[in-house]
Amino acid sequence: MFNQILKISLENVLTSTGGKILIAALVILCFLVIVKISKAPKDNNAKTMAVCGLLLATAIVLGELRLFKMPLGGSVTPASMLPVILAGYFYGSRQGILLGSSAGIFKLLLGGATILNPFQVVLDYVAAKGIIGASGFFKDKKHGLTIGGFVGILGRYIVAVISGYIFFAEYVPADFQHSALVWSLYYNITYLGVDDAITLAVLILFEKRFVYHNFLFNFTRLFPGLRIWNVFYG
């Protein structure tokens, strides 16, 4: 009896606004602690924490901004995973994966998530988001930002397809003439493909030196107080 009452009480707390805020604060705290104890040089640690926290907040906000919904389901966002790719590329895959996973957890807290069981949640909202931060593995490659972003995006798609095949097979339309795997491939590409195309387009622009370095340099010569590029290059 006591255990049942305790379970109901915990569910009420976790589903309340205050409970979500508390969990969100704990996620941010854990994120910053892990960044703090990472192998980043001590003199850059504070900047890394600040920028990664800002990128996490940006990813969360962009994830809540839906440009439009696709006919089969799923919403297209304005490059919501771009901050995760940038975190992985500039600060290492560890921070990128952690940031992506944290953004996925926030998605659960903010509502609108599809929850079937814990394994599906881990795949769709922790693994699928976290793998995007693996862009840091390509930091030293030519066009590493775009390549790393593409690999991370492809990884998210593969994880989403696996989740769809395992957990959503029963939702395949009755008039669909192919297997659940084919449906998962098709369904996920219809909206992730558009979302990811927007992200890749932005990444390609970032790769152009006149956009993300020279342009900012020349622009901030006119407005010295807006030297944003120092966040990444300082």
Evaluate if residue 5 carries a pLDDT over 50. Answer: no
Calculated CA dihedral for residues 46, 49, 50, 54, nearest 10 degrees: 170
- Whose tokens are 């297209």? That residue is 76
Alpha carbons 141 and 42: distance in angstroms, whole number? 26
Are the CB atoms for 78 and 72 separated by under 8 Å?
Answer: no
* % residues pLDDT > 70 (the chain): 68
Listing DSSP states for 90-110 in one string gives HH-HHHHHHHHHHHHHHHHHH
The encoded tokens of residue 118 equal: 């814990």
The 3-state DSSP class for residue 75 equals strand
> In this predicted structure, what is the pLDDT of residue 112?
66
Residue-range domain boundaries for the chain: 28-233
pTM: 0.71
100 vs 3: which has the higher pLDDT = 100
Q: Could you tell me the pLDDT band of residue 160, with boundaries at 50, 70 and 90?
A: very high
Q: What pLDDT was estimated at residue 150? A: 92
Please report the pLDDT score of residue 9 as a whole number. 45
The overall average pLDDT reported for the chain is 75
For residue 140, the SS3 value is: coil
Backbone angles phi, psi at 75, to 5 degrees: -115, 145
Q: How far is CA 151 from CA 3, 157, 158, in A?
A: 45, 10, 10
User: Of 65-74, 182-191, 218-227, which gets the smallest average pLDDT?
Assistant: 218-227
- Taking domain 28-233, whether its CATH number is 1.10.1760.20 is answered by yes
The total number of residues written for the chain in this structure:
234
Give ∠ CA 198-72-111 in degrees, rounded to 5. 75
Residue 229 DSSP label: T
Residue 12: which pLDDT band, with cuts at 50, 70 and 90?
Answer: low
pLDDT over 90, % of the chain? 10
